[in-house]
Amino acid sequence: RGLTYKNSGVDIAAGNTLVQRIKPLAAATSRSGCNAELGGFAGLFDLKAAGYEDPILVSGTDGVGTKLKIAQVCKKHDTIGQDLVAMCVNDILAQGAEPLFFLDYFACGKLDVEVAQGVIAGIAEACKKAGCALLGGETAEMPGMYPPGEYDLAGFAVGAVERGQMLPQLERIADGDVVIGVASSGVHSNGYSLVRKIVEKSSFDFSSPVGVSGDQTLGDLLLTPTKIYSKTLLPVLHSGHVKAFAHITGGGLLENIPRVLPESFGVILDALTWKIPEIFCWLHKEGNLSEEEMTRTFNCGVGAVLVVQKELAQQVLKDIQRHEVAWLIGKVVSLQKGSARVKVHNLLRALQANRSLSVHSHIQGKIQTNKVKVAVLISGTGTNLEALINSTKKPTSFAQIVLVVSNKAGVEGLRKAERAGIPTRVIDHKLYESRTEFDSAVDKVLEEFSVELICLAGFMRILSGPFVKKWEGKILNIHPSLLPSFKGANAHKLVLQAGVRVTGCTVHFVAEEVDAGAIIFQEAVPVKIGDTVETLSERVKEAEHRAFPAALQLVASGAVQVGEAGKIYW
């Protein structure tokens, strides 16, 4: 049969459906100068109709970094659009420019119309807040470029400023000028790779409740959208009283303020003069971050900075405070050669003063000290191994991985174990004459490390009867289907051939018969229309990375055990 674009993975009809759904959202952002109608080859903007006489065009582009990962894990897609718009329009504000129009780029491996519509609705809503039109965009469906459920965003803003109102006005900046800080709403959209690493290494996850009432999760808090400053601050920036404006974006306080100062000037800030949101205090403590790391990575509660003459500072502050929380946070100083351009005093004191955020762990238990010793047997890349390592690293884990054994040398899984500081052994099955001999070599190493539980994570050997008998109730395996259906090596193929609508993964105890041991934990995964072995396998893998660690904790904690005749009791 002839191939089609659709069975290559690109659904033009879905793309058209999306465009029809977002047309009214874009039209609602129309403003003087354009009518924001989607569907043409290009968008038009009339500067004259927008009231400009001698304008300079100003453009900016940005993304939202790995904050996207958190949105995707939390399945919360309605606010990330504001982050995208804010990152672009706040940047062009630094030139004194009013944002006029915005374009977005949404890329994915497989287009989910509902998710894309949610994201773009957020972008349109943010454009209204910023006072710019959503003039167009691009939705790119690229099979194989992104894993299922993942997407990427980029934004492009164009603004204008009358020639005489451009910022920064470097020649006017002088020693003794005052620095005004405008409050951020939280972490904004920078430093999220560090944020995610801190959460991963902590005993919490994005669904952990925060605060006294616990009605907000850590994920919700970290997804607080970036503030858009254009409408509230433009009148102040055009008043003639402001010499410079800096958006505190990637590079934090240390690297963004110098971008709007002459070479010979720096600033001294006092962290006790503004309120640092609790999330920064939590990140600082949980990640054991240095002061420099905090100020070079994060905004620390200050989303934007204005430089004004000392005599006008109180008046400008009052004007800003009509719409935004703001403070006098420091002053401009002449620099001695070789000294730091931004100094932040009292940061540690300020961070400790605001350290009241309580994040609650799901496993309401003490830090586990006497952990069950676990060995993981692998043959390849060890993607499930990685999930097991991450979960057992948490202080609340009932298990600890003490050994990783592979029957093949040089595989990626061994490198993952070594990077995590876990001892490894290679026992090559080709060097043994029988399965029983190979198994007893493995058994010897397990005893050497006092192993109590075994996890099979992509281990491609069938274990012998005596070995399974000896370790009965102590070996866990994961299978990529909902057992007892679809046993054996080609589970995904069998699932697709059978035409079932639901599959999943099963963590079970190992019995002598293949894929027949008592079931500990299962997670269901929908089979989607048009799924291939590859796409289905990807989705089931994601479930495996949740199910295997969960099952290991159940067994290691003693919540699940095997009783008589291989039956489970809880």
Rounded CA gap, 561 and 11, in Å? 48
Strands 475-479 and 453-456: parallel
Q: Which residue has the tokens 């809503």?
A: 125
Count the Cβ atoms, other than its own, within 10 Å of residue 288.
9
DSSP string, 26-72: HHTT-BTTB----SSSS----TTTTT-SSEEEEEEEE--TTHHHHHH
Residues 6+ apart with CB under 8 A from 500: 485, 527
Bridge partners of 345, per DSSP, are: 270
* φ/ψ of residue 106, rounded to 5: -120, 120
Bridge partners of 332, per DSSP, are: 267
> For the stretch 133-167, what's the b/e string if a residue is b when 16 or more beta carbons lie within 10 angstroms of its beta carbon?
bbbbbebbbeeeebebbebebbbbbbbbbbeebeb
Q: With the CA atoms of 305, 309, 311 and 314 taken in that order, what torsion angle do they form, in degrees rounded to the nearest 10?
A: -10
Rounded CA gap, 39 and 266, in Å? 48
- Angle 169-170-176 (CA atoms, 0-180°, nearest 5)? 105
Please give the C-alpha separations between residue 340 and each of 268, 303, 314, 452, in angstroms, as whole numbers. 10, 21, 27, 55
For the chain, helix (H) and strand (E) counts, in that order, are 18, 21
Tokens in use for 90? 């706040």
Concerning whether 479 is annotated as a catalytic residue, the answer is yes
Tokens in use for 422? 């876990």
Rounded CA gap, 395 and 369, in Å? 8
Tokens in use for 119? 């994201």
Cβ contact 551:520 at 8 Å? yes
Closest CA to 444 of 511, 436, 460: 436
Query: Which of 188, 247, 479, 545 does the annotation list as catalytic?
Result: 479
Enumerate the active-site residues: 479
